[in-house]
């Protein structure tokens, strides 16, 4: 049983989270955790927000076509101890992203670690 851990008070602050709906939000279930993928791309957007931080990044394929990937990370409260801040990524940064791809056909990934332009690696999640 996995709970979504939003560490902020929502308007329905008095309620108890229900595991079923928390899973429905998505958790890991939407991602294929059997094998991690790695991409090199350029950050287009970075959102430091709950319930997940989000990094959108552009990846050029072998044919030169650019595709925007939607990367989801854990929440700020879990990323801060791993060295992340709201300004870790900026639009235009060249990064190497590792994570688990979404099960659907859209280009999405659950990010487990990122290699920054300065060569520093930041983990975002324990790898399965």
Partner 1 sequence: MIIAPNRLAASLVFFTLSCWAVAGQATPVGQEGIPVTDPLVIAKCGDCHARDERGNMERLSWGRTTPEGWQDALKRMILGYNVPVTPVEARLIVKYLSTNHGLAPEEAKAVLYDAERRIHEETNLPRGGLGNTCTRCHAFARALSWRRSAEDWKQFAELHAARYQVPSEETATFLAKAAPLHTPEWAAWSARKSTLNLAGRWFVTASIRGHGKYYGEMQVDPAGDDEFNSRVTLTSVQDGSTLVRTGRSVVYGGYAWRGRSKGTVPSSSGAPEDLASEAREVLWIAPDQATAEGRSFWGQYQEFGFDVKLQRPSANPTPIAIDKASLRTDSQANRVRLIGYNFSAEVAPAELNFGTGVRARRIVSHTPTELIAEVDVAAEAPLGRRDLTFRSSVLPAALAIYDRVDYIKVKPESALATFGDAKHLRGYQQFEAIGYQRGADGKPHTADDLELGPVDVTWSLEVFYAANGASTDLVGEMSVTGLLTPATTSPGNNFDVWAVATAKDEKDQNGKPLMGKGYVVVTIPAYTFNGHQYVRDLDRWVDDGPVSRTQ
Binding region for partner 1 (CB under 8 A): 3, 5-18, 20-21, 24-26, 45, 47-52, 54, 70, 76-77, 81, 86-87, 102, 104, 106, 108
User: 99 or 102, CB closer to partner 1?
Assistant: 102
Comparing CA positions, the residue from 96, 99, 78, 76 lying closest to residue 86 is: 76
Beta bridge partners of residue 31, listed in sequence order: 102
User: 38 or 104, CB closer to partner 1?
Assistant: 104
* Nearest-approach distance from CB 102 to partner 1, in angstroms: 8
For 99, the token pair is 């994570």
User: 50 or 96, CB closer to partner 1?
Assistant: 50
* Nearest-approach distance from CB 124 to partner 1, in angstroms: 17
* Nearest-approach distance from CB 13 to partner 1, in angstroms: 5
Query: Other C-beta atoms within 10 Å of 122: how many?
Result: 18
* Nearest-approach distance from CB 69 to partner 1, in angstroms: 11
The single residue listed with the structure tokens 């791809």 is: 101
> Do residues 112 and 33 lie in contact, with contact meaning Cβ atoms separated by under 8 Å?
no
The single residue listed with the structure tokens 């975002």 is: 124
């Amino acid at each position: 049983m996995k709970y979504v851990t939003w560490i902020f008070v929502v308007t329905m602050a008095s309620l108890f989270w229900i595991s079923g709906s928390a899973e429905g939000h998505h958790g890991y279930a939407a991602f294929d955790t059997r094998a991690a993928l790695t991409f090199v791309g350029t950050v287009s957007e970075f959102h430091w927000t709950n319930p997940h931080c989000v990094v959108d990044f552009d990846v050029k394929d072998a044919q030169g076509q650019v595709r925007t990937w939607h990367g989801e990370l854990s929440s700020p409260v879990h990323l801060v101890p791993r060295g992340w801040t709201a300004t870790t990524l900026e639009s235009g940064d060249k990064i190497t992203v590792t994570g688990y791809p979404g099960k659907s056909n859209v280009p999405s990934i659950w990010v487990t670690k990122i290699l920054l332009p300065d060569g520093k690696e930041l983990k975002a999640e324990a790898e399965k």
